[in-house]
A and B are shown apart, each in its own frame.
Chain A
């Protein structure tokens, strides 16, 4: 008996493979985490946080006001002498313990990150959470070696630090902020983003479990008013902010003339440069990683694609075919490549800028993929025939939208890449080592990736030039902003 081989009469669709959520136990309501305990907000404000993929509420979140910021800063100030006086090795152990607990609760953290922020579970599981744990691990080891970090100079902690993190990598950014601050002996007040507070609150549970002394870290969800109160608090020694350039400028103005340390990690319009000798298929993967990773909600996203003219058509063609294979949809599905847009507000911003791009005459191509009815979605989009003067070539879209421009020579590539108000990151795609290094040296960007994009490591410094901010996070340079040289 012979059976004919199966012909694909219908397509081979991957069956839904959703990550189970039934083991996740979120509280109905989260209070503020102040001085080591859960405390209700002074003004009694609670705001629900929702799942952007379904618009369903997940939990009620206490929002901090100025009085709560006051309490948290006072708790941090009170905890400071004992914390900075602790033998450095003991401080490192606390940070190490946090890292271990993040690992232990990795699956839960990944799922909650995806529920609250809309990013694909593949990313929260494989990138966000492991990178957050790695960051704590890396800085745990620095705690008792600070004297070596700055060339043998005598250092001490800044004191009480206020930290404000964005909504695109909620847990990871909290880790980027807290790990070096704690290792250096500071106490901290951390404000998670308004739309994505949940993993920071789970991190508060972890801090409790790690028996971190009371008041060393307080976590205050809230909106911009809480952030503004924190920035303007008279008893703060340092502010670390990651977010938009607009807010960053406000913060810098607010702190003008005060002896308060400041690091800003702001927006970007990073150039991803593909030379004609590059491995083009891998370059296309890098372009996809660069702009569609986390729906393009990445400050260092490779949003300005610069293609050498001799291969531009070919790369655009390959990129478009690759984009058509992106799987857009349920963020909890393990096969999803592109998830939900983080909020209605962000979706509006993306839509407005994309409309502006069309109005300015750029050619828009958007993947015709089915999108869920509920929730916030934007299909992967490419703009070609873009002139450097167009708004979509200049402004940060912070969505899954890549703008494509061309160049002819190495010099022109450098010139175009640097022709921006920002300077956070860049990518260089070439098979030629000498070219890669020569170009990288000329790019004014905090991070330059060679033949890869959006790869993060706790041991390497991350930060911007110009309107992308100043100060570095990660590696030994990430310690500097949290230390005072005596």
Chain B
């Protein structure tokens, strides 16, 4: 019989809204923007992705703001498995990690054997980080053991690569399930738990992110093992990104404000962060076209 950890939706949303109303100004804002940029998994996951597009985005990930050398590189570039070689070549020697989605992303509705093979191929091609999806089919049909087992097997297939486990919050049907699925992913050996594929629903809302931060906090508190969190999906503005950092700081503490422990999966947010950074420096808003698309 299942015993789900209780999570109260009203309370979570209230707390998340309170933290989202923090007012982050001046140097605190500039610092937050630099931190957020350093935590971004710059992502392109489209059917029309090509090696050319990946190379251009890689250049942006390595040096997001040539005008401001103090702005760090993004943490990683996240692509489909077929484009891992292109990303690997473009990022060689830069310190920006190659991340690949895997396991039949985004639905995960392929055989386990295929998902494992896809993971092994991506790692062999040079992926240093794997973003897998849990089987929502297994979770929603009540087969918790299979959810854990599949995470364990993908983790084994990853070898040295870091494993991020996407629970796809919007498909789980509530915060109770989100917390429970996050706990299962952690139990299966996830290095990082991740909110969403970005293909479904509202993604990394403050409430969803808060519930997952609480799960890793409790796990660290209980066992000492650090599991990271990646907030992905729907993060488009600086305000949203900074809210995520506030959530981390006030739930887990400042120790967690590093790219090892917290990531933001996004693409368009980078230019908004750069625009706000510029505004902080000059007091004026730049035009959107003052920032390169890739």
Contacts and interface: CB of A to CB of B under 8 A. Distances in A.
22 contacts: A1-B69, A3-B63, A3-B70, A3-B72, A4-B73, A5-B38, A5-B72, A5-B259, A6-B34, A6-B35, A7-B258, A8-B257, A12-B245, A12-B249, A14-B23, A126-B21, A280-B6, A281-B7, A283-B11, A325-B250, A335-B22, A452-B14
A218 B42 CA distance: 63
Interface string B50-66: 00000000000011000
B12 interface: yes
B31 A279 contact: no
Given A2-B96, A126-B21, A278-B6, 11 more contacts: A1-B62, A2-B62, A6-B34, A12-B245, A14-B28, A16-B25, A282-B10, A282-B11, A286-B11, A334-B21, A335-B23
Tier of interface size on chain A: 20 to 34
Interface string A391-413: 00000000000000000000000
A3 B39 contact: no
Contact of B28 (A2, A12, A325): A12
B27 interface: yes
Interface of B: 6-8, 10-12, 14-15, 21-29, 31-32, 34-35, 38-39, 62-63, 69-73, 75, 94-96, 214, 245, 249-250, 254, 257-259
A12 B38 CA distance: 15
A301 to B, nearest CB: 18
Among all A-B residue pairs, the 10 with the closest Cβ atoms? A282-B11, A5-B38, A17-B23, A279-B8, A15-B28, A334-B23, A282-B8, A431-B6, A279-B6, A15-B26
B178 to A, nearest CB: 13
A2 B72 CA distance: 7
Contacts of B214: 281
A480 interface: no
A120 to B, nearest CB: 11
Contacts of A335: 22-23
Interface of A: 1-8, 11-17, 122, 126, 277-283, 285-286, 325, 334-335, 431, 451-452
Contacts of A277: 6
Contacts of B31: 6, 12
Given A8-B254, A14-B28, A2 B95 contact: yes
B73 A3 contact: yes
A334 B26 CA distance: 14
B135 to A, nearest CB: 26
Contact of A3 (B7, B21, B23, B71): B71
Contacts of B15: 282, 285
B42 to A, nearest CB: 13
A451 B245 contact: no
B94 A285 contact: no
B96 to A, nearest CB: 7
A244 to B, nearest CB: 30
Contacts of B257: 8, 12
A122 B21 contact: yes
Which of A8, A280, A282, A431 lies at the interface centre, i.e. has the most chain B CB atoms within 10 A of its CB? Answer: A282
